[in-house]
Structure 1
C-alpha cells in the first residue's frame, strides 16, 4: 500500500522553519535566558535570607524560569535601598552598652520624651486614641496596617472626618493589603471631608513602586507632632477587646519622640504618594527613647541587629512576648546560647494564635529553645498580639514587630527602644502580669514526618 506523505500546515511548520533556517535566534534566546537566570541567581545569593528560602528560589529559577523570573521581580527582592558602609567619621558614644554603640555607629540616636505611658488594656488604649484624635489642633497623621470596617474602625473614620471639617490637616495612610477590605464609600466620605488618603504599595501597582509582599506593618497616630500613639494595635474591634479575649500592647509618647515619629510618617507618606523631598531631621536633645525603623526602606536589618546584639549582651534575663515565633537561624541560636550560659530566657506566646500556620511552624524553634533551657509559656485564655522584648533591666522594646522572619526581614516596622529604668520597669511589670496568666508549654518530640512538614510549610509560607 502506498503511504501518503503528511503535509504541514503553515501554522504547524512556521516555528520549525524558523528554528531550522535561523538557528542563531534559538541560541541567542537560550544564551539570553541563561544569563538572565544566572543574574537573578546571583542577586538571590546576595539577599539576606533564610537558607531554605534561598534554596527554594534557586530551584524555582532552575526548574521553572519563565514563571520564577516574573514572580521574583514582583515579590522576590527585600530592599528598596542599597546598603551603605559605615563612614570613617561615624558618630560614637561613651556608653558601655553594646546596643548603644551599634546604633551610634549606624547614625541612629536616642531622643527625649516628656512622657511614655504603656496602656494597661484595650479599653485604656481606645480612650487614649480617641482623646489624641479629638485634641489634635493643626495636624493628624494616621498610618495603619489594618483599619477595619467595624465599630471601632467606623468610629475612628468618623472622628477623622470631624477633625478635617474642623480645620485640622488629616492624612490617612493605609497598607494596600492589610486594609484592602475598607469600603470605597468610606474612603470617598473621608476625601469629601478633606482627609488626604493614600495606599501604601497597593495590590495593583507599577513594579517600581515597591514589591507586593513588602507590607507596611507600622501602626502610628501622631497629633500636632507632639503626641503619638503606637505599638502593636491595629484599629479593629478585637484589638480593643477585653484581655481575656485579645491581649495587645500599645503606648503613648509625648515631646521630642513624637516629632521623630512624625518624621517617620512623613517618609512613609512621601514614599506612597511620591511627594517632594523631606525637610531636615528632627534634632535630638534627649536620651530617653530611640525610635527605630526597620524594613525595606532601611539599608540594613537594624531591628534584627539590635536583637542579636542585645541577646549576646544579656546577663541574667530575656523576656520576649510575641504572637508568632518564627525566627531566623541566627536569632534562634543567639537565644539558645543565652539560655545555655545561664541567662533566664522566657518566651510568652498565645497557646493558639489567629494564624494556625504560624502555630504549626513555630514548634521546631520552640523545641530547640526548650532543649537549651528556655522557658516556653503559653497564654491559654486569649490571643496574645503584643510585641515586646525585655533585656535585663537595661533595654525594653515595644512596637509593631513580631519575632518572625516577615517582621524582621520583609515588613516595614517601627519599635521604641526604652533605656530609662522607670520605663523598663513598667514594661517588666506588664510582662509579669501576662506571665502570671501563662502556663508552661508541653512540647512532645516530633517525628521525622512532622519535622519535614514543618520545614515545607516554613519554606512555602514565610520565606518569600
Structure 2
C-alpha cells in the first residue's frame, strides 16, 4: 500500500510538471521563455510548477486580453463616418505599402483633411490646452497618465471645474499607477465641481487589483472640435525653466476629422473604466488641412503587436531616411533587426536619445544593445539635458508617427498606448527638422566609445540589460 501511494504521488508530481510544461508551450510567445519554463518544471518537479504558477502565468496578459476583448465587442457600436481618405496619390510604392500596413493592423482607413501643430514643452502646450478647455462649450475629455500637483495641475483643475460649471460635459481619466507620482492629487476634488473622474485600474487590496503592469499610458485631450495628443503628461516638470528635473517634450494640437478618432479613443477607455459607453457625434469636424492621419490603439492581450509590427514594417519599407527620437530605447529583437537591415541596405538611420535619463538603469541597459546597431551603420546621438521625453518617428520625407509609445518592452508589450500615423510631407518636414536640429547640438556616440568603457561599466550595463523586458 505504501509503495502504491509513493508511486501515485510520484505520478501526480510529474503530471503537475507536464501540465506546467504544456501550458508554457501553448501560451508563451517567446520560445526562450517557453524553453526556460519547460526545463524548470521538469528539473524541479515540485518547485518548478509552483514557480511557474507564481511567476510564469501572465495574469497581466490574461487581464489585458479581457480588456481588449471587451473593447473589441463594443467597437462596432462606435462605427462612424470618420471621413476615410484614399491612400495618398503620386507617392512612392513604399509609402503606399506603409499605408496598407497600418490599415491591415487597425482595420481603419486614413482620415484626411487634418492640420497638426507641434507644441514644444509645457511652455507652448499648456497655454493652448487651457485655452481650448476655457473655450469649450460641449465636451472636454482628458485622459492622462500623470496629473501631478503644482502650478500646472492647479491651472488644469481650475479650468476643468469652470468648464463643468458652465454646463460642459467634462470627464477626466487618470491612470491608477500614474496617480502615485504625486502625493497631492489636484483631480481628486474635481467631482465636487461636477467633473466626472475615473481611474484606470487603480491598485488596491480590497477587492484585489494588483495589475500594476497594466497602465493606460495614452494622452488625449478633446475640447469640442480641437484635439491634443502626444507624450506629455500634466506636470510642472514639462515647463522649461531654471528648475532642476525639467523635461523636454513635444505635444500636438489636432484639427479636422481626426479629432473624432481621438474622441472615440477616449470614450472606449472611459467605457472600460466606468461601464458607460456614450454615443459619438453623428458628424466629424470639417476638413481644415492636408494631413492624412490614423489613430493606433495598442495594448497587451491583443492578437497582434500593432505598434511593434508597424514600427518594423515601416522601417523595413524605408528607402532613404529614418529619424527616431525616444526617451527609452530597448527595442524588441524584431525591431533591432529592422533597424540593422535598413542601415545595411544604405538607409540613413539616425536615433536620438537623452543624454540624461530619469531612469538610469534604462540608460545603462541601452548601452548593451548599441554595438549591434552601430556596427550595422545605425548612427546614434545623445542630446544634452534636460531629460527629453519626446517620441517621434519620421521616414522618407512623407511618413511620421507621434504619440505616447516609447521604443521599449513596457510600451510595446505592457502599456496601453495611443499613437498617430501622419502621411504629409509638410508635417514630416517639421518632425524631421526637430530631430535634425537636436542632432546639431548633440553628441554622436561611436563603437570605439563603447569599447573603451571599463569592464565594471560593461558588466553593469549587461546586468541591467538582462532585466530589460521588465524595465
Measured against the shorter chain, the TM-score band is 0.7 to 0.9
SS at match of 1:119: strand
Q: Which residue of 2 aligns with 1:175?
A: 175
Shift of 1:284: 11
SS of structure 1 residue aligned to 2:377: coil
Tell me how far 1:305 sits from its aligned partner.
1.4
State the Cα deviation string for residues 229-266 of structure 1 (Å, max 9, x = none): 11010111112325994321110101210110010111
For 1:127, the equivalent position in structure 2 comes to 127
Matched position secondary structure for 1:338: helix
Tell me whether 1:228 sits opposite 2:227 in the alignment: yes
Say whether residues 1:41 and 2:40 are aligned partners: no
User: Hey, what does 2:250 align to over in structure 1?
Assistant: 249
Cα distance in structure 2, aligned partners of 1:79 and 1:64: 26
Q: State which of 357, 363, 371 in structure 1 corresponds to 2:375.
A: 371
Residues 325 and 392, structure 2, Cα contact 8 Å, conserved in 1: yes
| Contact 1:407/1:413, CA 8 A, preserved across alignment | yes
Give the whole-Å Cα distance in 2 for the aligned partners of 1:170 and 1:74: 33
Matched with 1:444 is: 450
The change in CA–CA distance for 1:210 and 1:111 in structure 2 (over 3 A counts) is farther
CA drift at 1:53: 5.2
Q: How does 1:315-464 map to 2 (within 5 A)?
A: 315-442=319-446, 443-445=449-451, 454-463=461-470
| Distance across 1 between alignment mates of 2:278 and 2:5 | 52
Matches of 1:53 and 1:455, distance apart in 2: 19
Alpha-carbon contact 1:92-1:104 (below 8 Å) kept = no
User: By how many angstroms is 1:454 displaced?
Assistant: 4.2
Residue pair 2:172, 2:197 contacting (<8 A) in 1 also: yes
C-alpha deviations, 1:328-355, integer Å up to 9, x for none? 1111111011111111111101112100
Higher radius of gyration, 1 or 2: 1
How far apart, CA to CA, are the structure 2 residues paired with 1:261 and 1:205? 33
Q: What is the aligned length?
A: 437
CA distance in 1, matches of 2:54, 2:279: 33
Paired position in structure 2 for 1:192: 192
1:327–1:365: 8 Å Cα contact kept in structure 2? no
Q: Distance in 2 between matches of 1:296 and 1:281?
A: 31
Cα shift at 1:299: 3.0
- Can you list the C-alpha shifts for 1:204-227, whole angstroms capped at 9, x where unaligned? 379998943121111111112x11
Q: Please identify, of 427-436 and 135-144, the stretch whose mean Cα deviation from structure 2 is larger.
A: 427-436
Aligned to 1:104: 103
C-alpha deviations, 1:353-388, integer Å up to 9, x for none?
100011111012211111111211111232111000
- In structure 2, the residue corresponding to 1:148 is in which secondary structure? coil
Deviates more, 1:203-212 or 1:305-314: 203-212
Superposition RMSD in Å: 3.5
Give the C-alpha shift of residue 93 in structure 1. 6.1
CA contact (8 A) 1:44 1:58 kept: no
Encode CA deviations 1:34-87: one digit per residue, 9 max, x unaligned: 354134312442x3x4x66555665666654334414435335564447x9xxx
Query: Where in structure 2 are there 5+ consecutive unaligned residues?
Result: 73-84
Q: CA 1:162–1:35 in 2, change beyond 3 Å: closer, same or farther?
A: farther
Structure-2 change in CA distance of 1:247 and 1:44 (3 Å): same
SS in 2 for 1:214: coil
**Aligned residue number for residue 75 of structure 1:** 60
Cα offsets for 1:146-187 (capped at 9, x unmatched): 111222122212221221122111111111112224557745
Q: Flag the 1:271–1:431 CA change in 2: closer, same or farther, 3 A.
A: same
Give TM-score, length-normalised by structure 1. Answer: 0.83
CA separation of 1:266 and 1:346: change in aligned 2, threshold 3 A: same
More displaced stretch, 172-181 vs 207-216: 207-216
Change (3 A) 1:143 1:339: same
* Partner residue, 1:268: 269
Give 1:159's aligned residue. 159
Q: Give ranges in structure 1 of 5+ residues lacking alignment.
A: 1-16, 85-90
Query: Residues 292 and 415 of structure 1 are in contact (CA less than 8 Å); yes or no, is this contact kept in structure 2?
Result: yes
CA offsets, 1:301-347, max 9 Å, x none? 11111111111111111110001110011111110111111111111
Change (3 A) 1:228 1:449: same
CA distance in 2, matches of 1:238, 1:258: 27
| Cα distance between partner residues in 2 of 1:118 and 1:175 | 25
**Residues 283 and 199 of structure 1, relative CA distance in 2, 3 Å threshold:** same
Greater shift after overlay, 409-418 or 104-113? 104-113
TM value normalised by structure 2? 0.82
CA distance in 1, matches of 2:438, 2:283: 36
